[in-house]
């Protein structure tokens, strides 16, 4: 269990890093991790393009910046039920949700994963046991706990640094701890509630709260190997567990805009890591392939929509 130093909260691309993890996980893991995160990246770039061209008329929340967080969990949490919230396109895609279903949902088409009823923030993928979200921030956490209590099966639930402040999170953690429910709680902490930073909103750490309730908890940066390492340990050593991950939101809360360069660029750091592992040529091949797939997926639809 990591000793938490939350009184002096620091954000860093290195927080909690453990040396040599990428080598320990191996090349196969690295390439599959990259394949998943990289496809999400290209998919989201196409969504961004559609937003910039005003082809998307519905609100959307892009997961650029946290593509590899989702990819890491998808590598470790096999056969989990998934309860996420907005900014979860990468979760949907990494776990194997149908890209066409997500695209069409964002376009508001009947062929969307929820027939146009859900939109970006409420997507679901029954084929990978990913449940929809109502739009109430953090509500997925107690629902996830209920699903674990009712089924005894493992559940991954992902919220943000703002939704973790919702009043129903604490009793959810408490009940999961009391009943030893198989829930992996994840807080994707981009430090912003729309634009209000954590320091303005609270002085406490969700990982501290989880730990005080008897749940093993860590606060780490968004390095995917580090995430996979902790998630794997928690899954292996018995859930519930709690991971607070410092991530970076590359774009605005909603839509395609940005306020300048990101705090750090995890995508670039992952690419560098793969090159260090000697996987440069495989990386380029995957990147080209994924980019083509994302283009194929979006371009015909974008063309159709722009004609309208």
Partner 1 sequence: MGLTTAQTIQEITKNHLEKENGLLLGQCVTAVGWIGGTVPDCNGIMEIPMTDVAGSAFAVGCALVGRRPIFVMRYQGFLWYNCSSLINYAGRSKQVWGVPCPVFIRCIGMEGNGVGHTASSCLHSIMMHVPGIPVAAPMTPLEYRAVWEHFRTHDDPIFVSEHRRSFVLTDEMSDQRSENSKITLVAISAGRLNALDAVARLQESGIPHDLFHVMWLKPFAASPELLASLSKTKLGVIIDSDFEIAGAAQSFAYELMLRTGAKIHALGLEDRVCGVAPAVENITPSAEKIAAKVSQLLRA
Residues that bind partner 1 (CB under 8 A): 81, 114-115, 117-118, 122, 124, 126, 131-132, 134-136, 139, 142-151, 153, 167-168, 171-172, 174-175, 178
To partner 1, the closest distance from the beta carbon of 169 in angstroms equals: 8
> Do residues 60 and 106 make contact, with C-beta atoms less than 8 angstroms apart?
yes
Residue from 39, 44, 31 nearest 292 by CA = 39
Vertex 76: Cα angle to 153 and 46 (nearest 5): 110
> In the complex with partner 1, which residue's Cβ is closer, 145 or 215?
145
To partner 1, the closest distance from the beta carbon of 113 in angstroms equals: 8
Element (H, E) at 27: helix 27-52
To partner 1, the closest distance from the beta carbon of 24 in angstroms equals: 35
> Do residues 148 and 181 make contact, with C-beta atoms less than 8 angstroms apart?
yes
> In the complex with partner 1, which residue's Cβ is closer, 33 or 118?
118
> In the complex with partner 1, which residue's Cβ is closer, 132 or 241?
132
> In the complex with partner 1, which residue's Cβ is closer, 158 or 250?
158
> In the complex with partner 1, which residue's Cβ is closer, 34 or 242?
242
- Six token digits for residue 56: 């998307």
Cα–Cα distance for residue pair 6/92, rounded to 1 Å: 31
Cβ atoms < 10 Å from Cβ of 291: 16
To partner 1, the closest distance from the beta carbon of 186 in angstroms equals: 17
To partner 1, the closest distance from the beta carbon of 116 in angstroms equals: 10
Strand extents, DSSP E, the chain: 81-83, 130-131, 155-160, 183-189, 192-193, 196-197, 217-221, 241-246
**Residue whose token pair is 């860093």:** 12
């Amino acid at each position: 269990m990591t000793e938490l130093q939350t009184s002096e909260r620091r954000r860093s691309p290195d927080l909690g890093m453990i040396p040599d993890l990428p080598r320990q996980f191996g090349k196969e893991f690295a390439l599959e991790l990259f394949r998943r995160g990289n496809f999400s990246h290209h998919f989201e770039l196409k969504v961004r393009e559609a937003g910039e061209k005003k082809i998307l008329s519905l609100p959307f929340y892009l997961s650029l910046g946290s593509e590899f967080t989702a990819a890491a969990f998808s590598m470790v949490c096999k056969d989990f039920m998934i309860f996420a919230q907005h900014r979860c396109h990468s979760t949907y895609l990494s776990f194997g949700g149908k890209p066409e279903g997500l695209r069409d949902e964002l376009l508001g088409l009947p062929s969307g994963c929820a027939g146009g009823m859900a939109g970006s923030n409420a997507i679901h993928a029954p084929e990978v046991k990913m449940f929809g979200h109502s739009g109430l921030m953090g509500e997925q956490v107690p629902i996830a706990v209920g699903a674990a209590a009712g089924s005894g099966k493992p559940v991954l639930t992902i919220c943000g640094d703002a939704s973790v402040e919702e009043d129903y999170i604490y009793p959810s953690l408490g009940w999961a701890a009391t009943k030893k429910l198989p829930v992996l709680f994840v807080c994707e902490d981009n430090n912003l509630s729309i634009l209000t930073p954590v320091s303005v909103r609270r002085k406490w750490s969700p990982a501290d709260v989880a730990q005080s309730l008897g749940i093993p908890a860590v606060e780490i940066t968004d390095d995917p190997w580090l995430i996979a390492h902790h998630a794997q340990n928690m899954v292996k050593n018995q859930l519930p567990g709690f991971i607070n991950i410092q991530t970076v939101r590359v774009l605005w809360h909603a839509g395609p805009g940005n306020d300048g360069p990101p705090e750090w660029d995890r995508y670039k750091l992952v690419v560098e890591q793969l090159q260090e592992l000697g996987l440069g040529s495989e990386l380029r091949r995957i990147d080209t392939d994924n980019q083509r797939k994302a283009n194929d997926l979006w371009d015909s639809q974008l063309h159709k929509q722009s004609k309208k």
